[in-house]
């Protein structure tokens, strides 16, 4: 099985988008700093204007972080492990085949049942149905390759009974 990467974000991250995001991020940060200096010098600043400047600055930082890939959400499926980063604020989790008891499939969710008793749920969006379907097929192939039982939609338990 070759290593496959699935993007969980709504936007594509091609070179044009990266250039535009970095350009707008730099512009937002520069405008926020300029406005903060102008408000500080004039002495006519209010709490709501500082909140607006902080929002503009943080939005610029967010765009720059998007360009670097630190906030990407993805799933990487290789022969013996699944790397899952489904939340932009948390680090990636590595799920090894030896740690999985079973995998459960539902319409918009994949549940990984670990042998330690923990359940990791990957919620799939409705925006990219083709990508979600391909991801579910890849996880099912991973489970079949490593002998991990699956439950839910077209599980290998149901196929074995027939």
pLDDT tens for each residue of 48-106: 999 999 999 999 999 999 898 888 888 999 989 999 998 888 888 999 999 899 999 98
Report pLDDT for 125: 73
Q: What's the CA gap between 43 and 100, in Å, rounded?
A: 60
Fold of 96-156: 3.30.720
Residue 157 has pLDDT above 60, yes or no: no
- Note the pLDDT tens digit of each residue in 8-25: 877 777 889 899 999 999
Q: What confidence score (pLDDT) does residue 128 get?
A: 66
Q: What CA–CA distance (Å, rounded) separates 75 from 153?
A: 20
pTM for the full model? 0.74
Residues 6+ apart with CB under 8 A from 28: 56, 57, 59, 60, 63
Lowest mean pLDDT among 27-36, 80-89, 123-132: 123-132
Domain ranges across the chain = 10-68, 96-156
């Amino acid at each position: 099985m070759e290593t496959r990467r699935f993007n969980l974000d709504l936007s594509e991250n091609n070179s044009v988008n990266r250039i535009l995001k970095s350009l707008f991020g730099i512009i937002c940060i520069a405008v926020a700093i300029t406005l903060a200096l102008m408000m500080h010098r004039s002495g006519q600043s209010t709490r709501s204007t500082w909140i607006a400047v902080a929002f503009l600055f943080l939005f610029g930082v967010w765009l720059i972080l998007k360009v670097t890939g630190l906030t990407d959400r993805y799933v990487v499926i290789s022969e013996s492990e699944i790397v899952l980063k489904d939340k932009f604020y948390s680090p990636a989790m590595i799920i090894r085949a030896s740690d999985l008891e079973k995998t459960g499939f539902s319409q918009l969710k994949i549940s990984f049942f670990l042998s330690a008793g923990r359940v990791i749920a990957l919620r799939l969006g409705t925006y990219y149905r083709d990508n979600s379907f391909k991801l579910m097929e890849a996880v099912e192939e991973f489970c079949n390759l490593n002998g991990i039982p699956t439950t839910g939609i077209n599980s290998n338990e149901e196929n074995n009974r027939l």
